[in-house]
Chain A
Amino acid sequence: DADVTQTPRNRITKTGKRIMLECSQTKGHDRMYWYRQDPGLGLRLIYYSFDVKDINKGEISDGYSVSRQAQAKFSLSLESAIPNQTALYFCATSDSLTGYNEQFFGPGTRLTVL
Chain B
Amino acid sequence: SQQGEEDPQALSIQEGENATMNCSYKTSINNLQWYRQNSGRGLVHLILIRSNEREKHSGRLRVTLDTSKKSSSLLITASRAADTASYFCATVPVDSSYKLIFGSGTRLLVRP
Find residues 16-58 in chain A having any chain B CB closer than 8 Å to their own CB.
Answer: 31, 33, 40-45, 48, 50
Contacts of A102 in B (CB 8 A): 33, 45, 48
B59 contacts partner chain A, Cβ-Cβ < 8 Å: no
Chain B residues whose C-beta falls within 8 Å of the C-beta of A69 in the assembled complex? none
CB contact between A42 and one of B2, B41, B97, B98 (< 8 Å): that residue? B2
Which of A1, A33, A40, A45 has a CB less than 8 Å from the CB of B42? Answer: A1
Alpha-carbon distance A100/B32, docked complex (angstroms):
9
Is A74 at the interface (CB under 8 A from chain B)?
A: no
Indicate whether A100 sits within 8 Å of B48 (C-beta atoms), given known contacts A1-B42, A88-B40. yes
Partner of B30, one of A44, A100, A103: A100
A22: shortest Cβ distance to chain B, in Å? 15
Assuming the A-B contacts A42-B103, A48-B98, A105-B42, are A100 and B92 also in contact, with contact meaning beta carbons closer than 8 angstroms in the complex? yes
Known A31-B98, A100-B31; contact A43-B92, beta-carbon cutoff 8 A: no
Counting contact residues on chain B (CB < 8 A from A), the size range is: 20 to 34
A104 & B45 in contact (Cβ 8 Å cutoff): yes
Closest to B93 in A: A101
Q: Which of A78-114 touch B at CB < 8 Å? A: 88, 90, 92, 99-108, 110
Contact A99 B42 (CB under 8 A): no
Report the interface size for chain A: residues with CB under 8 A from the other chain: 27
Please determine whether A40 and B104 come into contact, CB atoms closer than 8 angstroms.
yes
16 new A-B contacts, CB < 8 A, other than A40-B104, A92-B43, are: A4-B42, A33-B100, A42-B2, A42-B102, A43-B43, A44-B102, A45-B100, A88-B40, A100-B48, A100-B50, A100-B92, A101-B98, A104-B45, A106-B42, A108-B40, A110-B40
16 contacts between A and B (CB under 8 A): A1-B44, A33-B100, A42-B90, A42-B103, A42-B104, A44-B2, A44-B102, A100-B31, A100-B48, A101-B98, A102-B45, A103-B43, A104-B45, A105-B35, A107-B41, A110-B40
